[in-house]
């Protein structure tokens, strides 16, 4: 995966608290191979009426929201299940940035591992951005400056330093870790010597 | 970077296995890895192939990946099969002081035994498969101290829903939670698992209880646990796994256990929880985004503001899941159902094949079936509906599971979370009911 430092795109708002990963992608779609693309499943049930037709009032469904890549959301976004498929759905639908006052911890890690920025913003800033986003606007995210601007508003966001580095460099953890192969082997040996029961009796 | 002592995988790990296959990497430590069929496990007509092609393919993929990498696998025909968070501890794979991960958020369950256990995503699962390590940022420490004793008919599920309602579904975000206090010490290991299981619903990835004699006697004799001299050595180490009396916590919350009543949820987040004696919240009493959230939740749930929770009619019950499907949970439900009839249909799915066997040896299955409930095989079942056990649109389910999210038990399903005893009470009356009067003379 390639890294990125700044991103330009259409921003939309989703003014609903507690968008959990079951909303982001309902469980029944999770047996699909990734190669088929997960964007089609994003918020599948929430954006549809009971009869299965798309709800024209749902923010993601408006004509102006097509091609959006920045999502501004409310408190507790991505809580719940560890399903990385929730991030696949966002990423495959073209999103690069989600900004909200709080995120599920596992979602945050999954997002970063897929090049999606989980930008933590204050409750007040989230509300202000959501207010401007009654209609979709152009947005700009800057990882280095930790700043997000949408329409005429510019707000700071928080992201932990390691996550920011990973997003910027597009690091692959497996390669990074394998460099430490000798240290890991030494640790394993010491661990088993001190606590032989870590190897399950079989 | 942390070394991983135990890695548990399930059908949902297919993305991770594909990632390592693409890079032609082997599993670093097959002996420390265990595969379990749970999310898609059929709960009826299992041996006759009672499953769709899609479900069969998901299970076969796990079994093939496990065989290919030399990983032990508790498949559908294995008596060790069950929900990964039930079977891991049951088999003695989960031990105090181990670092355990699984691509599932309820991995916090294993913290009940004093393990450092947390859920990870698919990219991290692939990383653990390939390297047996995981990168982590150290979380903040939080103590939830339950002082005093629980009242009759009140248990670990009520403690958990109680603190989540108090602090919010993101209340413990970024924190590792240690549960302490007399009421926690007084819980069995099963009860501690229920408590730790729900940590994630309050935003914490980790939940743990320091190991004590209760823990150690529970572990002894389990198939993969140490024995003899190795157990003696382990016990010495485990005895040191407790927080110092003056250990600093970033946050401490004290809760009066005696004041906890049986709790049910009314909304679409586990934080939407209230004592059964309460009334349904009224958005008119609230402002701003909270008012909107409550009104959307009530709309989805089909509930009227201001009415008592008790007496709300339910369409069905589900007793199961990694939260509440261990033997103790089934006994608690059976204590209420014994000699009574359920007014609504219901499904009882034990947490593992061994729990099922033990329950049948005690005759609990007769209590459930005599009451009119269905007794089926072990798996995640109606907790998430991946195996086809779904709540129909608009139907209301009294459920012992952990998530009342919109559509969690099926599109349009309305879920009320509660303890096994409370779910049994709902079955008996066909409504949300305070279990305590039904338990009089039975505890
Ligand atoms: S029982 Fe439910 S919560 Fe537990 S592992 Fe299965 S799907 Fe997840």
pLDDT score at B329: 98
C-beta atoms of B127 and A173 within 8 A: yes
B378 in the same domain as B248: no
B240 in the same domain as B172: yes
pLDDT score at B48: 60
Tokens of B366: 């007769």
pLDDT score at A134: 87
C-beta atoms of A173 and B269 within 8 A: no
Is beta strand A68-73 parallel, antiparallel or unpaired with respect to A147-150? Answer: unpaired
Confidence of residue A51 (pLDDT cuts 50, 70, 90): confident
C-beta atoms of A27 and B293 within 8 A: no
Does the pLDDT at position B47 exceed 70?
no
B402 in the same domain as B295: yes
B118 in the same domain as B78: yes
Q: What mean pLDDT, rounded, does chain A reach?
A: 94
Say if residues B102 and B197 touch (Cβ distance below 8 Å). Answer: no
Mean pLDDT across B20-48: 92
- Whole-number Å distance, alpha carbon A12 to ligand 1 midpoint, is 32
Among B61, B39, B95, smallest CA distance to B322 is for B39
CA A94, A97, A103, A109 torsion-angle sign: positive
B194 in the same domain as B154: yes
Question: For A87-137, how does the pLDDT look when each residue is reduced to its tens digit (9 = 90+)?
Answer: 999 999 999 999 999 999 999 999 999 999 999 999 999 999 999 998 899
Share of chain B above pLDDT 70, in %: 99
Strand order in the sheet with B251-256: B206-208, B175-180, B140-147, B251-256
Mean pLDDT across B357-379: 98
Q: Which of B194, B227, B259 is the last residue of a domain?
A: B259
Confidence of residue A173 (pLDDT cuts 50, 70, 90): confident
A172 touches chain B (CB under 8 A): no
* Domains of chain A: residue spans and CATH: 6-171 (3.20.19.10)
Q: What mean pLDDT, rounded, does chain B reach?
A: 96
C-beta atoms of A173 and B1 within 8 A: no
B427 in the same domain as B279: yes
Question: For B264-296, how does the pLDDT look when each residue is reduced to its tens digit (9 = 90+)?
Answer: 999 999 999 999 999 999 999 998 888 999 999
pLDDT score at A176: 86
Index of the ligand 1 atom closest to the CA of residue B84: 5
H-assigned helices in B150-278: 156-167, 182-185, 189-197, 213-219, 228-238
Least CB–CB distance from A17: residue in B14, B57, B289: B289
CATH of the domain at B27: 3.30.499.10
CATH of the domain at B223: 3.40.1060.10
Confidence of residue A175 (pLDDT cuts 50, 70, 90): confident
B254 in the same domain as B276: no
Among B182, B242, B178, smallest CA distance to B212 is for B242
Question: For B81-110, how does the pLDDT look when each residue is reduced to its tens digit (9 = 90+)?
Answer: 999 999 999 999 999 999 999 999 999 999
pLDDT score at B50: 63
Question: For B341-351, how does the pLDDT look when each residue is reduced to its tens digit (9 = 90+)?
Answer: 999 999 999 99
pLDDT score at B373: 98
H-assigned helices in B168-319: 182-185, 189-197, 213-219, 228-238, 288-301
Mutate to test the interface with B, among A50, A74, A84, A192 (most CBs of B within 10 A): A84
Q: Which of B94, B111, B134 is the last residue of a domain?
A: B134
**Domain residue limits at B70:** 2-134
> Least CA distance to B53: which residue of chain A?
A31
Q: Which of B240, B259, B278 is the last residue of a domain?
A: B259
Question: For B290-327, how does the pLDDT look when each residue is reduced to its tens digit (9 = 90+)?
Answer: 899 999 999 999 999 999 999 999 999 999 999 999 99
Mean pLDDT across A156-165: 94
Total of domains in chain B:
3
Confidence of residue A202 (pLDDT cuts 50, 70, 90): confident
B213 in the same domain as B349: no
Mean pLDDT across A32-61: 93
Does the pLDDT at position B125 exceed 80?
yes
Tokens of B71: 């990983």
Confidence of residue B66 (pLDDT cuts 50, 70, 90): very high
B91 in the same domain as B174: no
Task: Tell me the ipTM for this assembly.
Answer: 0.94
Q: Which residues of A touch B168 (CB under 8 A)?
A: 76
Q: Which residue has the tokens 């003014």?
A: A15
Does the pLDDT at position B357 exceed 90?
yes
C-beta atoms of A174 and B15 within 8 A: no
B111 in the same domain as B167: no
Mutate to test the interface with B, among A14, A18, A111, A182 (most CBs of B within 10 A): A18
B225 in the same domain as B144: yes
Question: For B430-442, how does the pLDDT look when each residue is reduced to its tens digit (9 = 90+)?
Answer: 999 999 999 988 8
B311 in the same domain as B179: no
The residues lining ligand 1, judged by C-beta closer than 6 Å to any ligand atom, are B 38-39, 83, 85, 104, 106, 321-322, 380, 383-384, 402
């Amino acid at each position: 995966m390639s890294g990125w430092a700044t991103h330009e795109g259409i921003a939309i708002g989703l003014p609903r608290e507690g968008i959990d990963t079951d909303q982001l992608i309902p469980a029944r779609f999770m047996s699909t191979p990734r190669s088929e693309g997960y964007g089609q499943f994003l918020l599948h049930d929430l954006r549809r009426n009971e009869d299965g037709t798309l709800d024209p009032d749902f923010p993601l469904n408006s004509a102006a929201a097509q091609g959006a890549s920045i999502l501004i959301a409310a408190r507790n976004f991505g809580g719940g299940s560890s399903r990385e498929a929730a991030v696949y759905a966002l990423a495959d639908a073209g999103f690069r940035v989600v900004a909200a006052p709080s995120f599920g911890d596992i979602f945050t890690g999954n997002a970063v591992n897929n090049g999606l920025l989980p930008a933590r913003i204050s409750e007040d800033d989230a509300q202000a951005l959501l207010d401007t986003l009654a209609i979709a606007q152009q947005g700009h995210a800057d990882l280095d400056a930790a700043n997000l601007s949408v329409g005429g508003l510019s707000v700071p966001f928080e992201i932990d330093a390691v996550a920011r580095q990973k997003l910027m460099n597009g690091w692959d953890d497996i390669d990074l870790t394998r460099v430490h192969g000798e240290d890991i082997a030494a640790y394993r040996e010491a661990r088993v010597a001190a606590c032989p029961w870590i190897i399950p009796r079989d | 970077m942390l070394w991983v002592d135990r890695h548990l995988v399930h059908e949902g790990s297919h993305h991770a296995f594909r990632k390592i296959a693409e890079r032609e990497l082997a599993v670093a430590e097959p002996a420390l890895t265990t595969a379990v069929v749970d999310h898609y496990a059929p709960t009826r007509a299992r041996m006759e192939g009672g499953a769709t092609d899609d479900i069969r393919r998901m299970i076969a993929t796990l079994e093939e990946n496990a065989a290919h990498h030399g990983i032990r696998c508790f498949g559908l025909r294995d008596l060790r099969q069950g929900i990964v968070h039930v079977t891991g501890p049951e088999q003695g794979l989960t031990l105090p002081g181990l670092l355990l991960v699984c691509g599932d958020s309820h991995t916090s369950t294993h913290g009940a035994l004093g393990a450092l256990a947390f859920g990870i995503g698919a990219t991290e699962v692939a990383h653990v498969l390939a390297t047996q390590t995981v990168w982590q940022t150290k979380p903040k420490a939080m103590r939830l101290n339950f002082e005093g004793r629980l009242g009759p008919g009140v248990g670990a599920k009520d403690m958990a829903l109680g603190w989540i309602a108090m602090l919010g579904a993101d209340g413990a975000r970024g924190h590792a939670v240690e549960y302490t206090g007399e009421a926690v010490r007084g819980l069995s290991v099963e009860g501690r698992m229920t408590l730790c299981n729900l940590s994630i619903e309050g935003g914490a990835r980790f939940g743990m209880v320091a190991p004590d004699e209760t823990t150690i006697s529970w572990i002894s004799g389990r198939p993969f646990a140490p024995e003899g001299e190795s157990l003696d050595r382990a016990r010495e180490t485990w005895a040191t796994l407790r927080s110092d009396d003056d250990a600093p916590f970033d946050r401490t919350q004290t809760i009066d256990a005696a004041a906890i009543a049986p709790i049910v949820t009314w909304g679409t987040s586990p934080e939407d929880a209230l004592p059964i004696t309460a009334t349904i919240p009224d958005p008119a009493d609230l402002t701003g985004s909270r008012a909107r959230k409550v009104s959307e939740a009530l709309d989805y749930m089909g509930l009227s503001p201001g009415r008592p929770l008790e007496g709300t009619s339910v369409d069905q019950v589900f007793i199961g899941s990694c939260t509440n499907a261990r033997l103790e949970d089934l006994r608690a439900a059976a204590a209420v159902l014994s000699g009574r009839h359920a007014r609504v249909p219901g499904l009882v799915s034990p947490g593992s094949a061994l729990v099922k066997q033990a329950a049948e040896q005690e005759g609990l299955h007769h209590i459930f079936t005599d009451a009119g409930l269905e007794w089926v095989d072990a798996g995640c079942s109606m907790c998430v509906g991946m195996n086809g056990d779904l709540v129909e649109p608009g139907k209301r389910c009294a459920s012992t599971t952990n998530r009342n999210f919109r559509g969690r038990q099926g599109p349009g399903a309305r879920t009320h979370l509660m303890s096994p005893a409370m779910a049994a009470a709902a079955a008996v009356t066909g409504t949300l009911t305070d279990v305590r009067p039904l338990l009089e003379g039975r505890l």
